[in-house]
Amino acid sequence: MIADMLRRAGGALFVLALALAGLDRACAQPPVVIGMTAGFSGPTRAMAVELYRGAQACLESREIPHGENARKIVLHAADDGYEPGPAIENTVRFLTRDKALALFSQLGTPTVSRVLPVLRAYADQGARLFFPVTGLEASRIPPYVRFAYNLRASYRQEIEALVGAFAAQGATRVAICHQADAFGRSGWDGARRALARRNLPLCGEATFARSAMLADDMSPQAKVLAGCKPQAILLVGPAPACAAAIRDFRRAGLDAVVGVVSFAGGELLLRTLAAEGARLGLDLEQNLLFSQVVPDWRDETLPAARDYRQALVALGDRLPPPGGWDAPVSQAGSAVGFEGYLNARLLLAILQAMPDLDARGGLDAAVVAAGQVDIGIGRPVSLTGPAHQALDVVYLNRASGGRLVPLTQAVALAGAED
C-alpha cells in the first residue's frame, strides 16, 4: 500500500512538474518591444505625455495571440526634447540595443524628418515607423514611404481644409505664422498650394523659433502680419508658441480668424489660452478654427471613443512617461490622446497578422494581411495605398468653453495633395 501511495505521489509530482514546465515556457515568452521618441521635455511636453498616455491606455491591457500563448506589447519611450539629434540617438538605440520590433508614434516634423534617413540606413534590418505624429510629406512619398506608415491626414490636407473654411467665410487675404524649421516649411508649402488653387497669394508671413514658449514676445510677428491687414491667419506650431502668438495677435488688435493645425494639440492649446486669458482679462477663444486628424473623442456613437475614455480611467497613474506624470493625473481625454490610442489600436491589428513577432521583416506583409481594419471610428482604414496613409479626413472644430466643438461634417480630402 505504501509503495502504491509513493507511486501515485510520484506520478502527481511528475504531472505537476510538466505543468510547471509549460507555465515556465509560457512565462518565458518575452514582450514585444516598440520604441517611441518624443519631446517629453521642452515645448511639446504636454503633447508627448498625452500621446503616450493614450497609447499606453490601449496597449497595457492587451496581448497578441502567439501560438498557444500570448505576447505582451511593451512601449519603450524616450525623451528627445523635440530636437533631431536626440531623436536620432533614441531611434538607433531602439533598433539596436532594445531590439524593438517597430518604431511607433514618433512626435514632430523636425525630428521625424531626420529619423527617416535612419530608417533607410537600417532597411536591411526591416526598420519601420508606424504612425508618426506629423503631416510631413516625406513620410508619404518616395524614397521614405517604404519605411513609414501613417494614420493621420497630411499637413497639406489639414491646411486645405482650413483655407477652404476661410474661403467659405469670404476671406481673400490670408497670412501665415509658422515655426522656422521643417515643420513650418511644410505648413507654408501647404498654404501656398491651397491658396494657389483659389488664385490667391499669401498676403503676409512671420516665423518663430522651434523653442518658443508662452513667455516669448510675439508682438513683432503680430506687427509684421498686421501690415497686410489679414482676414485670416494660419498658425503652425506647438501649443506654447501658438498660445503666445494668439495672445499677442489679439493684444495688437488683430481680430482675423486664426486657423490652427492639429499639432497645437487642440485642448492643450485651449487650456493654455484659458489660463492666459484669465491672467490678462481677455477672451482668447474667439474666432479660432482648429483642424484635427481624429474624430471627437467624446462622440458616444464611436466604439473607439467610448473604449478610450474607459481605458484612461483604467490606466490611472500607472506606467509614467519620461519625466513622470504632471500631478494630478487628469482623467479627461484629448484629441492628442485619442490619436495615440487609435495609433496603438491599429498597430495591434497589424501585429495580430504577423506569424512571427520577432521578425521585423514580416511587418510589411502583416500590413497587407491586415487589410481593411475596423478601429472603431465608423469607417474601416487601410495602409496599403501609395501614401501608406489610413485616413484622408480632416475634422474642423471651433473653440467654446475650453472645448473643441465640431464645426462641420468631416472633410474628406483624398485629392488635396495634388
Which residue bears the cell 480611467? 313
Helices 335-352 and 363-370 cross at an angle (nearest 10°) of 100
Task: Tell which residue, 96, 254, 111, 109, has the closest CA to residue 187.
Answer: 109
Please report the DSSP string for 204-243 in residue order: EEEEE-TT--TTS--HHHHHHHHTT--SEEEEES-HHHHH
What is the residue whose three cell numbers read 501609395?
Answer: 386
CB atoms within 10 A of CB 380: 11
Q: What is the pLDDT of residues 294-346, one digit of tens each?
A: 999 999 999 999 999 999 999 999 999 999 998 788 778 999 999 999 999 99
Query: Shortest CA distance to 394 belongs to which of 381, 383, 407?
Result: 407
Helix pair angle (182-196, 155-168), 10° resolution: 40
CA atoms in the 13 A half-sphere facing the CB of 53: 32
Q: What is the CA radius of gyration of the chain?
A: 24
Helix axes 109-121, 84-95, angle to 10 degrees: 40
pLDDT at 1 over 90: no
104-150 per-position pLDDT tens digit: 999 999 999 999 999 999 999 999 999 999 999 999 999 999 999 99
Give the lowest-confidence range in 14-28, 166-180, 240-254.
14-28
Give the residue ranges of DSSP H helices in 62-152.
84-95, 109-121
Give the pLDDT score at 61. 84
Asked if the model's pLDDT at residue 67 lies above 80, the reply is no
Q: Where are the alpha helices (DSSP H) in 122-238?
A: 155-168, 182-196, 219-226
**Which segments of 316-393 does DSSP mark as H helices, in order?**
335-352, 363-370
Residue 23: pLDDT band (50, 70, 90) is very low
The type of residue at 375 is: I
The phi, psi pair for 378, rounded to 5°, reads: 90, 0
Cα separation, 187 vs 178, in Å, equals 7
Question: How distant, in Å, are the alpha carbons of 136, 175, 364, 388 from that of 140?
Answer: 7, 26, 15, 6
pLDDT of residue 332: 87
Distance CA 35, CA 91 (A): 8
Residue 393: strand, helix, or coil:
strand
State the DSSP code for 101.
Answer: S
SS3 54: helix
Tell which phi-psi region holds residue 164, choosing left (phi > 0), alpha (psi between -120 and 50) or beta.
Answer: alpha
Over residues 54-81, mean pLDDT = 90
342 phi and psi, to 5 degrees? Answer: -65, -40
Q: What is the pTM of this model?
A: 0.91
Cell of residue 240, nine digits: 506654447
Mean pLDDT of 378-400: 95
Residue 15 or residue 166, greater confidence? 166
Residue 188 has pLDDT above 60, yes or no: yes
What is the rounded CA–CA span in Å between residue 240 and residue 211? 9
